[in-house]
Amino acid sequence: MLNRTTLVSVAGCVAFWAGSGLSGQSLPAQTSPTWTLPQGTAAKDNGPRAYRFTVDYNTANTKGDVIRRQRLKGEYTRGLAGGEVIWKNVTQADADGATGPFPAPQKRDFMEGFRYKNDPASTLQPEFFKGFPATAVFERNLVWDTGMMEMFGQDFEHLKLNEPYSPVTNQDVNMPGVGTFRNHKVVLEWIGRSQRNGQDCALIKYQAFFNPVSIANGGMSLIGRSDYWGELWVSLATKQIEYGTIYENVQGELKLAGQDTTQIISVFRIGTLEPVKQ
């Protein structure tokens, strides 16, 4: 049986070196010069703003049979004094098979009140997660993913309508205590305008495929690849994310502790980031 340390997702970590479908209200296409993004402005915080981040992990075999599912939820709040953010109410629930019901979620107490300056580079330092259990990789992903989404969504200066832009290519990333990742090519593209939560938004697509990954954590090892992609609805007025998605598939050769043979597995995850209504 595969457990929660069997496989990890690494898209969020990689992005620091450079989340559904289009369900907003689309605006008519235009060719007017007004189709430009605001330049030279930072994200505007008018006090704390809370988000709910939900990520479902689906571990499957080569035939697509889902062996195990894991659901993480957490409340992420940005806009605190000094540019800090904080996590609260992070939980995890595990279920076997494709349809088995999730039990009552378990609180991840070590993340309660986890507060830090919103500086992506610092989250790759060995001491950053010193209060986390060594195998708490899914919880690390919550931090990396939210930082990734905000970084991608606020990159207005480099985006032009329907023109793909690549901020990084073939860059190796070391994830202390987890493994390594080579980000093959990140592509961002501003693909339209939409509305979310009463805000006029830029709709930004991101993707990165064929990313080699090597994981060694909790007595297991994995050699494989990651493909990840998603969409971001970003307010034109504040550069705040109004809705975001992340999809990732990690497939590779897995070797568990105490075993000499490897098995091919795939973990597909789906995440959504959305503001909590006040």
**Token pair recorded at residue 139:** 């919880």
Does the pLDDT of residue 160 top 70, yes or no? yes
Segment 181-217, tens digit of pLDDT: 999 999 999 999 999 999 999 999 999 999 999 998 8
Amino acid of residue 31? T
Measuring CA to CA, which residue among 234, 276, 277, 274 is closest to residue 54?
Answer: 274
Whether pLDDT at 11 is above 60: no
* pLDDT at position 261 over 70: yes
Residue closest to 14 by CA, chosen among 264, 197, 252, 248: 248
Please give the helix or strand (H or E) that residue 152 lies within, else none.
helix 137-153
- For 248-274, letters b (16+ CB in 10 Å) and e give bbbbbebbbeeeeeeeebbbbbbbbbb
| pLDDT recorded at residue 175 | 86
Tens-place pLDDT, residues 222-243: 999 999 999 999 999 999 999 9
pTM of the model: 0.86
Averaged pLDDT, 217-221:
86
Question: Is 38 among the domain residues?
Answer: no
Indicate the pLDDT class of residue 258, thresholds 50, 70 and 90: confident
Q: Does the residue 37 lie in any domain?
A: no
Mean pLDDT over each residue of the chain, to the nearest integer: 87
Residue 2 pLDDT greater than 70, yes or no: no
- Is 6 domain-assigned? no
- Tell whether 31 is covered by a domain: no
Is pLDDT of 16 > 90? no
Contacts (Cβ under 8 Å, ≥6 apart) of 36: 160, 161
In a domain, 98, yes or no: yes
The pLDDT of residue 234 is 97
Residue 42 is assigned to a structural domain of this protein: no
Residue 184 structural domain: 11-20+47-275
**Number of structural domains found in the chain:** 1
